[in-house]
Homo-oligomer: A and B are copies of this chain.
Amino acid sequence: MRTETLYQDFKARMAKQADVSYTIGVLSWDKEVNMPSKGERFRNQQIATLSGIAHEMFTSDAIGELLEQLDAKKDELSFEEARNIELTKRDFHRNKKLNEAFVIRRSQLCSQAYDSWLKAKAANDFSKFQAAFEEIIKIKQEEAALLGYEASPYNALLEDYEPGYTAAMLDELFADVRAKLVDFVREIRQQPQVDDSFLYQRYTKKKQWDFSIYLLKQLGYSFEAGRQDWSPHPFTINFSANDVRITTRVNERDLATLLWSSIHECGHALYEQGLPTDYYGLPVGYYVSLGIHESQSRLWENNVGRSLAFWKGHYSKLQSTFSKQLSHVNVTQFYKGINKIAPSLIRTEADELHYHFHIMTRYELEKAMLEGDLSVKDVESAWNEKYKNYLDLDVPDAKSGILQDIHWAYGSIGYFPTYSLGSFYAAQFFSQAEKEIPTLREEMEQGKTDSVLAWLRANIHQQGRRYTATELCTKITGEPLNFKYFYDYAKAKYSQIYDLK
């Protein structure tokens, strides 16, 4: 058969498989946002059936043969076509290494672990989660062995979230964080604190919602290709680049909750809305990695959304929306308040510097458990020790310590580091954008971020998954990920805010 015909067949099959996968997304979004409570039982069954169909479609022999045939003819393919074959082949073989019995067992263990975690958290008692967590670590070790790896089993798992990145690279990166950021943040903690009390007045839900819609529009989020809804845990989900939805949450006693939920998810969504629709269902049409995805949310949330220039452009609108609450707060006070640095126990509430100590803790512990250097029974005390070292905090109990996150209970080992990677990539990308767009700051002060979005669209979004994260970063900034950019950003910003030399 002609190569072109084979490739068309491959493309059609991938599109159909994407149709099913995105449909599972619709079922899940609806479950979070709309579904009445009694719908759960049959909805879970519907999701399971569709997941089975998607798995069957993707692991079929027909796809396997097509991939072999096309791989043998890769000289006849364009760069993008060859890349699609290469990445699909990689995923296909990874999938094949995990047989059905293993996948079912893993899914059952994760369900059990999730239930145990819920109970343990409610009881504020890690020992109730320990047995299930041991099973999770064991099966993830087994998974790593089935997938195969070099150097560390952690690498096998990381590949799902941050392809091409390794534990050795993370070790080097976090060594840098440890060497530079821990001391700098400690220095900040010794300075007089900024005032953020104005954030904790009463801000009505309706007005907050309206302001978030205004911001989303300003940032370039397309409501023709998306919508915002409420959900307890904000998330972004897409069913094509033309239907990218976000959710947000509100606290009437804390203005920050909705603002940064919406901006963060908007960053994720702008990425998805900017991906090339021509590659629907094909690797080149997808995001690069979780780290790159997170770089987009963090760039908008922190580099843009927590900058003085941005609020010079939008503060008057916020102030007029909440005139009673904010009339006595000027834009500089507002800027300082939203950038308050203070250690806290909960990762999701952390400021943009302490955040990385939360991640470092999790990374070090999950890697040690997976490599067999730390047993699950000792992980709680190890956790508490790290919080003392990195954040100067005493962890009072399990629910505000080791049991706070759902990730491990879901079997996600190797996921956490992508949050830090995201922030660090964001700083490196934003620094490059600042160099290439001399008027960037000035435009932001006038409330305009179009040129930032255009730069991200051209350099990142429209590239899809043509390149690995490291290739992309090098192409854009001239070097692979380097913590220096984040450190320089943090140093300059917070030295000014906290009056450090």
**Residues of chain A whose beta carbon lies under 8 Å from any beta carbon of chain B:** 15-16, 19-20, 22-23, 26-27, 30, 34-39, 41-43, 45-46, 48-50, 53, 222-227, 239-240, 242-243, 245, 280
Contact = CB atoms under 8 A, between A and B. Distances in A.
11 contacts: A15-B45, A19-B42, A19-B45, A20-B49, A20-B50, A23-B27, A26-B46, A34-B227, A36-B222, A36-B225, A38-B243
A26 B20 contact: no
Given A26-B26, A26-B27, A243 B15 contact: no
A10 to B, nearest CB: 16
A243 B31 CA distance: 11
B239 A38 contact: no
Which of A15, A16, A280 lies at the interface centre, i.e. has the most chain B CB atoms within 10 A of its CB? A16
A223 B35 CA distance: 10
A367 to B, nearest CB: 39
B39 A240 contact: yes
Contacts of A38: 222, 224-225, 242-243
Contacts of A227: 34, 36
A482 B28 CA distance: 47
Contacts of A42: 19, 22, 239-240, 242-243, 280
A372 to B, nearest CB: 41
A159 to B, nearest CB: 28
A19 B46 contact: yes
A286 to B, nearest CB: 14
B26 A225 contact: no
B35 A23 contact: no
A240 B27 CA distance: 13
A265 to B, nearest CB: 15
A245 B226 CA distance: 22
A226 B39 CA distance: 8
A49 B239 CA distance: 14
Q: Give 3 closest A-B pairs by Cβ, nearest first.
A: A39-B243, A42-B240, A19-B49
A23 B24 CA distance: 9
A89 B313 CA distance: 67
